[in-house]
């Protein structure tokens, strides 16, 4: 049983939905990533840690800009393991890395998974289709790493079943068409996606992301039957707003994440 799966089961027993918080590693500076993650972890159930990439095709302007800041600050893919080790000293919640495929391939799939297993728990690769994922899934499984794949509103039923078969830990449901970014409303397709996943595989929790930016959104996702809710751009925007003043940033993050977590309680 993985740490991610254990977390979801424990939350289910207590009547809560998992709050998965995304942040960009190295933004605004690698030295600030551990204290930012530690602040978020006081309220989040899972941390999703992004590796900055020069061509983040699935991300909107907010996360693209965060990626640029991180790269300019000296963040590189191999530094992710040092940051995870530092974060792990402060919290034992699951850590999921979100990376595009190129940095992992360049680093070496087997080597990457072995290093990730030293403190991390899962991997999300948004530009990796399941048809090309066998090596990633195999090496991840060998090292106890969960592989989390994405399902979009336009994904056909047959492919949803295939993606669920490749996924472990949880499956990532994209709530809307397009790229990441905060939205004012949540698409009505969420319930349909959740139902489709549950019908095909009851042992993997569906978590919903993209466009979720406020407690009201979280409550809506919880009511839709999701087992997890993923908030990214809104957190990244808050980090950008206070990036020059860590003494303001940390309490602001804690306040925001506390409100989001409170909204996950049924």
Q: What is the pLDDT of residue 184?
A: 47
Give the H/E segment covering residue 228.
strand 228-231
- Token pair for 185: 């409303």
Looking at the predicted structure, is the pLDDT value of residue 119 above 70?
Answer: yes
Q: Quick: pLDDT tens for 127-161.
A: 999 999 999 999 999 999 999 999 998 899 999 99
Range list of H helices, the chain: 3-13, 33-41, 61-72, 80-88, 101-107, 109-116, 134-142, 157-166, 190-200, 215-223, 233-241, 246-262
Q: Give the pLDDT confidence score for residue 191 in this predicted structure.
A: 83
Angle at 218 between CA 70 and CA 166, to 5 degrees: 70
Range of the domain at 177: 3-262
pTM score of the predicted model: 0.93
Chain-wide mean pLDDT for the chain? 92
Report the sign of the C-alpha dihedral through residues 18, 45, 178, 240, in that order: positive
Catalytic positions are 48, 59
Contact 113, 86 (CB under 8 A): no
Location of structure tokens 């794949």: 149
Say what the alpha-carbon torsion angle 117, 207, 219, 10 is, to the nearest 10 degrees: -50
Helix, strand, coil shares of the chain, percent, nearest 5, are 50, 15, 35
| pLDDT over 60 (residue 185) | no
CB atoms within 10 A of CB 239: 21
pLDDT at 181 > cutoff 90 = no
The number of folded domains in the chain is 1
The confidence band for 178, taking pLDDT boundaries of 50, 70 and 90, is very low
CATH number at residue 189: 3.20.20.70
Confidence of residue 189 (pLDDT cuts 50, 70, 90): confident
205-224 confidence digits (pLDDT tens) = 999 998 898 999 899 899 98
């Amino acid at each position: 049983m993985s740490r991610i799966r254990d977390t979801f089961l424990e939350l289910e027993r207590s009547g809560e939905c998992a709050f998965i918080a995304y942040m960009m590693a190295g933004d605004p500076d690698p030295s600030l990533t551990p204290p930012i993650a530690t602040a978020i972890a006081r309220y989040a159930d899972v941390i999703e840690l992004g590796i900055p990439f020069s061509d983040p095709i699935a991300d909107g302007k907010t996360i693209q800009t965060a990626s640029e800041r991180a790269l300019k600050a000296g963040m590189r893919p191999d530094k992710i393991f040092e940051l995870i080790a530092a974060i792990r000293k402060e919290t034992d919640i699951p850590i999921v890395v979100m990376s595009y495929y190129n940095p992992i391939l360049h680093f070496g799939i087997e080597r990457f998974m072995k290093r990730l297993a030293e403190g991390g728990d899962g991997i999300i690769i948004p530009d990796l289709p399941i048809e090309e994922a066998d090596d990633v899934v195999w090496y991840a499984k060998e090292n106890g790493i969960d592989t989390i794949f994405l399902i979009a509103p336009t994904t056909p039923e047959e492919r949803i079943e295939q993606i669920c078969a490749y996924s472990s830990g949880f499956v990532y449901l994209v709530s809307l068409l397009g790229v990441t970014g905060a939205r004012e409303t949540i698409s009505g397709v969420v319930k349909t996606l959740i139902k489709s996943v549950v019908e095909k595989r009851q042992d993997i929790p569906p978590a919903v992301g993209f466009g979720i930016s406020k407690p009201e959104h979280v409550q809506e996702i919880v009511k839709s039957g999701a087992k997890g809710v993923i908030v990214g751009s809104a957190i990244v925007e808050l980090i950008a707003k206070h990036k020059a003043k860590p003494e303001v940033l940390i309490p602001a993050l804690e306040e925001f994440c506390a409100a989001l977590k409170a909204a996950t309680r049924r």
